Each structure stands twice: as C-alpha cells, then as structure tokens.
Amino acid sequence: MSESSDTPEYEVPDHVDNPLVHLIRRYASPYGARYAVAIVGTALAQIPQRVPALVVGVALDAILLSSTPYDLPLVPSGWVPTTTEGQVTFTIGLLVGAFALDGALTWLSGRVAGTARLRTLHDIRVDTFDALVGREMDFFDRRQTGDVMSVLNNDVSNLNGFGNNAVEGLRFVTQIAVAFAFMALLHVRLAALLLVLPVGLALLGRWYTTRVEPVYEDVRESVGRINARLEDSIDGIATVKSFAREDRERTAVADASREYRDRNWSVIRLRLIFNYSSWSVSSYSFVGLFAVGAYINLNGAPPFLGRSLTAGTLLTFLLYSKSFYGPIRQLMLDVLDSYENALASSKRIVAVLETDRQANETGDDLRVTEGRIEYDRVDFGYESSDEQQLRDVSFTAEPGSLVGIVGPTGAGKSTITKLLFRFYEADAGTVTVDGQDVTDVSPRSLREHLGYVSQDPFLFYGTIRQNIGYGVDDASDEDIEHAAKLAGAHEFVTGLDDGYDTQVGERGESLSGGQRQRIAIARALLREPEILVLDEATSHVDNETERQIQESIDALAGERTTLAIAHRLSTVRNADTIVVVDDGRVVEQGSHEELVERDGLYADLWRVQVGDTDAVSEAFLQRARAEDRPSERIESAVDGEVSR
C-alpha cells in the first residue's frame, strides 16, 4: 500500500472526469476486439454452466420418478427421445455438451481476456515510466523515490487486480441473471420470490462496504507507517547498531505493529460479521426453500404461487439458490474493493500521464564550436524554496579552460551547474554555450554535449564495464579501458578479482567513494563530451584518492571546457579561473595566485584549509561567529563536508 494517495501533487487534470474510464478508453480500446470476445464469451459461458442443474431436475422428474413428461424449457419436444434409455442417453449427451461448451467458452474468454489485460497494463506501465522519466528534475525534487516507484508498482498492479475482478464481477452478474432466467422458465412466481435472496445479500454487502471503508483507510495508513518505520530502521541499521539502539527501534516497530494489529482486527471483525450473516441468509434460505418447496410439492401451492412444484424443479432451485452466496459475497468484497483501489491508482497514473512535461525533443540542436560557457547576470530560486539561491551570477569559462567553483556548503555551486544542464531554468539572465541560450536548445541535444560527474555518482546494478559504457551504445572494450585510464580508474579496476566484469551493487556499495567517482568520470569521458562538469566528492577521501582525483581533473583540463566544483581548494589550485561563490553570489574570480593576492574570502578559505588559521581575517571570523552554527560553517568550508 502506498501513502501516495495523500500526495496532493498527483492531480488529475480538469479535462478528465473519471480517471479509470479515461485509462480504459485510451489503453483498452486498442484491444477492443479482444475485450469484446472475452466479455461475450464469459457471459455466454454462463448459459451452459447453468444447464446441468436444470437438466438434472427435469431428468429426475421424468426418468427417475416418472412423475412428469421429459419437458425441457426451450427444447422442442420433438427432439426428446420417447424411450427411457433414449432419455438417459439424451440427458448424458446434454450434460457432456454443456460441460464441453462451458469449458471451451471459459478457456477462450480467459485466454483472450488475459492477453488483452496484460497488453493494456504493459502499455500503461511503459507510458507512465516514459512520462515519469521525461519529467524535469523539480518533479523528482518534490517527491520521495518510494512514492514515485509506487505509481509504477502498486498503482499499475492495482489496475491489474481490478481487471481481474471486473471479469469476475461480470461472471457473477451474468451467472445470477442466467440462473434467474432458467428458474423463471420453470416456475416464474417462485423465481420472483427468490429474488429476495440476491437482493438481501447485496444489501448486506452494501452495509459492509460502507462500514469497512473508513476503517480500511486507517489500516492503510498504519501499513504506511509500519513500512516507513521498518525502512528507516533497516536503512539506518549502521547508525542503530553503532548507538546500540536496537531496543528503541524494536519498541517503535512494536508500537506501529500494534496499531496495525488493532486496526486490522476491526476490519476482520466486520468481515466476520458480514461473512457470518451472509452465510446465514444463504444457508437458512436454502432450508426455507426446501421447506416451502416440499410443502408445495406435497400439499399443492397456495394461490399466490400459482402452480405446484415438482421434486426436480425444487432440486434445480435449491442448486441455483446455493450458487448465489459465493459470487455475491465476492462481488461485494473483492470487486468493489478493487474498484476503489483502481480508482485511486488511476488518479495518480493519469496525473503522471496527462500533465505537460517538458518536451525533450523540442528546440534547436546545440552546436558546440569552441565550448565557451557564459553565465550572464543569472538569478534563480528553486520552486520548492522561498529563497533565491542564485543572484546576479556572471562568469565565463573560456574554451578548453578549467574553471573551479568554490565556496562554502550551500553557497549555490551545484545549482550553478544544474542550470547549465537545464535541469532548471534561470529566472533572469542567461546561460549560454557558444552563444546559444541553453533554454533555446533541446535538452536532449544540450546534454549530449555535456558530461556530468556528480559528487555521489550513481552506479547501476551491473558490471563496471556496463557502468562505464552506460552513456554510449555498443562501446568497445578498448574504448572503455581507455576512458578508465584517463579517469585514473584502470589501475584499481584491474586489481579487482573480476576486473571490468566486477559486479557492483545497487549503489556500488562495495567500492569506495573515490573509486565510484572515478568510474563516473570514465563514464562521462567515454562520451567525449565537449564540456565536462565535475562535482568533486565531498565525503572524506583519503590522500591517495584525493591525489588521483586531482590528477584526473588535471588530465581533463586543456582538452575540454571543464567546470569543477571543488570542496578541497587544493584540487582546483591549478585551474585557469576560480569562481568563488558565497550565498548565491559570485564574490571573487581569478587564478589561485590572484585570489590569494586579493586577500578576500578565497584567501581566508585557503588559509583555513592549509591550517594557517592564525592568519585568517577578522572579518571571516566575525562572519563565521555570526552564522547560526559557526564551527560547522568553518568546518564545512574547510573539509567540504556536506550537510544533508
């Protein structure tokens, strides 16, 4: 169960009345012929399915009791043999025929319905995924991964459940309709009287669903809570263990579980009441029917029932009446339940599918001639934040140059690079590549020319080779190794038991942060981007890794325009230009020597980093003291620890 039903951001656009109907129209109609065959087949199968009870009743009267002539409704009397043996054979033939026809129709409709349903769901799943990945970054910023995943997982499988149950529902309804039609042919007044049974059961079901729904909501909520609790404890297991807080986690899980248990018990209690009462209605009316039937059979019918009842007809009625209980119960429990679920799920799916997404393909193609990047008076604030994260940011990265971007944590360094990728668009000012505004070119073509290495690179589940080759179709082994060498990854990769075929876990957990980043650098280099953006790893890397990352950065410089966000100033010391960002503004820029000479923020950051704290300016210290958490602020400036 997802908690996403509470997420207000999944809003169905106005032009969609009923999201479930909308999905059915759009995704089921291509398979309309199959669905039609399935529906007709399922409905038709109910006719032969109800035949045996009818035939057995007639045969009982005519053959076994010899009380009435062999008279089957809808069958011309000329078709019925006159001898007893002939009638027995005829009966057996009818039974076999009915079962065979039922089997064939059920098999056919099950098959056709199954393939149609799976194809519909496949289309919905792929389209929804497509719509999701086409969304721009701010969509994902506002949502948790689990929440987005549940649209693809839970919501799509809820539709599957509903599809299944809808067929069942149709089966139940036609089953009851055919049974009543047959009963009416045998004894219309008694059949009418028996209508009380399905109506009574349906009313009971209605009572149950209205009572259980609110409680069910509570249960769902506590399932969400329990899952969140478990996820938290297991995700944070290292922290739990290092603080020896297993007991505390246990108590929290136990509380959540207890709440779930109690709420679920309310549901089970209601379900038991419903089950028991509907079972009672069904069972005692069976008894009642037998009593009434036997009385009429023996004593003749009271006036309002018209004619009397044979033993065979009574048997047919009893068999039919017993067959209502299961289907109606299921109709009320499963079909309605899955309808509610599917409706809620289709809302989210439609919300994802139908909202405008940024068209990846629209816009001109970016043409990179030299690789000059220019930020011109850029202002920017995240939609989800009230503050402005960038103010009047201007700087230029000359073709082939290495530009270091430095500054305290939260200054806006990553945000600057995100605008280059057009993950977000500037509120004012422009970001241009060789004179082309990044908002004028298609995101896809823009990103084809850019390489990006994040500070926490994501390694996909697979081998190192696959991970390096991710951005290029059919990369050769030589190319992959060449890129790895450039990135300084080759040495450690070949040292691993399986070399380039080493499997890395979901997030490459078996590798160190520095190793992951070098794989990510190789991945970016393999695409031979004209421009490279590197977000230096902020976790504490050892000196050796730091040296290697610096070597990688130096190796890249001179070949292509590179923006390197640096947390350790030493790694960009050799940069052509260093842009110093503070609180969303560019406060200084120049070469390392120029900036040290200038004796501003950079010079202070540099002094802190090299341990020359005595020489740090009074202004810097005052500023640090004025911050909420001064020591943290200085530390973060010093060692690049990211506060998350």
Helices (H), 195-245: 196-235, 237-242
The least distance separating ligand ADP from the CB of residue 130, rounded to whole angstroms, comes to: 23
Q: What are phi and psi of 515, to 5 degrees?
A: -65, -40
- Of 436 and 455, which CB lies nearer to ligand ADP in the complex structure? 455
The least distance separating ligand ADP from the CB of residue 143, rounded to whole angstroms, comes to: 11
Q: Binding segment for ligand ADP among 118-126, 248-256, 379-387, 493-501 (CB under 6 A)?
A: 379-387
Residue 571 binds ligand ADP (CB under 6 A) = no
- Give the Cα separation of 234 and 511 in Å (integer): 21
- Of 135 and 211, which CB lies nearer to ligand ADP in the complex structure? 135
Q: Binding segment for ligand ADP among 200-208, 307-315, 413-421, 517-525 (CB under 6 A)?
A: 413-421
Give the DSSP H/E element, type plus range, for residue 429.
Answer: strand 428-433
| Residue from 379, 382, 547, 623 in contact with ligand ADP (CB under 6 A) | 382
77 with 323: CB under 8 angstroms?
no
Q: Binding segment for ligand ADP among 233-241, 411-419, 431-439, 625-633 (CB under 6 A)?
A: 411-419
- Of 145 and 385, which CB lies nearer to ligand ADP in the complex structure? 385
- The closest alpha carbon to 417, from 548, 324, 529, 532, belongs to 532
- Of 68 and 409, which CB lies nearer to ligand ADP in the complex structure? 409
Q: Where are the beta strands (DSSP E) in 505-555?
A: 531-535
Q: Binding segment for ligand ADP among 183-191, 210-218, 381-389, 432-440 (CB under 6 A)?
A: 381-389
Give the DSSP H/E element, type plus range, for residue 255.
Answer: helix 246-299
53 with 185: CB under 8 angstroms?
no
The least distance separating ligand ADP from the CB of residue 539, rounded to whole angstroms, comes to: 14
- The closest alpha carbon to 9, from 159, 145, 142, belongs to 142
Q: Reduce the DSSP state of residue 470 to 3 states and report it.
A: helix
- Of 141 and 255, which CB lies nearer to ligand ADP in the complex structure? 141
| Residue from 22, 220, 413, 592 in contact with ligand ADP (CB under 6 A) | 413
What's 577-627 look like in SS3? EEEEEECCEEEEEECHHHHHHHCCHHHHHHHHHHCCHHHCCHHHHHHHHHC
The least distance separating ligand ADP from the CB of residue 631, rounded to whole angstroms, comes to: 18
What's 122-155 look like in SS3? HHHHHHHHHHHHHCCHHHHHCCCHHHHHHHHHHH
The least distance separating ligand ADP from the CB of residue 633, rounded to whole angstroms, comes to: 12
Q: Binding segment for ligand ADP among 103-111, 215-223, 327-335, 405-413 (CB under 6 A)?
A: 405-413
Instruction: Determine the residue type at 52.
Output: P
- DSSP string computed for 262-298: HHHHHHHHHHHHHHHHHHHHHHHHHHHHHHHHHHHHH
- Of 138 and 168, which CB lies nearer to ligand ADP in the complex structure? 138
- Residue list 138-177, contact with ligand ADP (CB under 6 A): 141
Angle formed at CA 382 by CA 518 and CA 421, multiple of 5 degrees: 40
- Residue list 259-288, contact with ligand ADP (CB under 6 A): none
- Of 412 and 451, which CB lies nearer to ligand ADP in the complex structure? 412
| Residue from 412, 451, 457, 488 in contact with ligand ADP (CB under 6 A) | 412
- Of 43 and 533, which CB lies nearer to ligand ADP in the complex structure? 533
- Give the Cα separation of 54 and 312 in Å (integer): 8
The least distance separating ligand ADP from the CB of residue 383, rounded to whole angstroms, comes to: 8
Instruction: Tell me the two tokens of residue 417.
Output: 């690079």
Contacts of 174 (CB under 8 A, 6+ apart): 42, 43, 46
Determine the length of the chain: 644
- Of 322 and 391, which CB lies nearer to ligand ADP in the complex structure? 391
| Residue from 266, 409, 512, 617 in contact with ligand ADP (CB under 6 A) | 409
* DSSP 8-state code for residue 25: I
Q: Binding segment for ligand ADP among 143-151, 284-292, 406-414, 609-617 (CB under 6 A)?
A: 406-414
The least distance separating ligand ADP from the CB of residue 575, rounded to whole angstroms, comes to: 17
| Residue from 14, 385, 544, 644 in contact with ligand ADP (CB under 6 A) | 385
The least distance separating ligand ADP from the CB of residue 117, rounded to whole angstroms, comes to: 39
Sign of the CA dihedral with 37 first, then 39, 41, and 44 last = negative
- Give the Cα separation of 467 and 395 in Å (integer): 33
- Of 137 and 184, which CB lies nearer to ligand ADP in the complex structure? 137
| Residue from 161, 236, 399, 410 in contact with ligand ADP (CB under 6 A) | 410
The least distance separating ligand ADP from the CB of residue 415, rounded to whole angstroms, comes to: 3
| Residue from 28, 183, 353, 411 in contact with ligand ADP (CB under 6 A) | 411
The least distance separating ligand ADP from the CB of residue 159, rounded to whole angstroms, comes to: 31
- The closest alpha carbon to 522, from 578, 570, 477, belongs to 477
Q: Binding segment for ligand ADP among 23-31, 317-325, 378-386, 509-517 (CB under 6 A)?
A: 378-386
Q: Binding segment for ligand ADP among 6-14, 145-153, 367-375, 382-390 (CB under 6 A)?
A: 382-390
605 with 565: CB under 8 angstroms?
no
- Of 286 and 382, which CB lies nearer to ligand ADP in the complex structure? 382
Contacts of 358 (CB under 8 A, 6+ apart): 134, 135, 136, 443
| Residue from 128, 222, 389, 562 in contact with ligand ADP (CB under 6 A) | 389
Q: Binding segment for ligand ADP among 47-55, 144-152, 156-164, 380-388 (CB under 6 A)?
A: 380-388
Total site size for ligand ADP, rule CB under 6 A = 13
- Of 479 and 641, which CB lies nearer to ligand ADP in the complex structure? 641
- Give the Cα separation of 371 and 432 in Å (integer): 10
- Of 434 and 535, which CB lies nearer to ligand ADP in the complex structure? 535
Instruction: Tell me the two tokens of residue 424.
Output: 């977000």
- Give the Cα separation of 293 and 318 in Å (integer): 9
The least distance separating ligand ADP from the CB of residue 568, rounded to whole angstroms, comes to: 14
Contacts of 362 (CB under 8 A, 6+ apart): 442
The least distance separating ligand ADP from the CB of residue 535, rounded to whole angstroms, comes to: 8
| Residue from 257, 358, 414, 591 in contact with ligand ADP (CB under 6 A) | 414
Residues in contact with ligand ADP by CB under 6 A are 141, 382, 384-385, 389, 407, 409-415
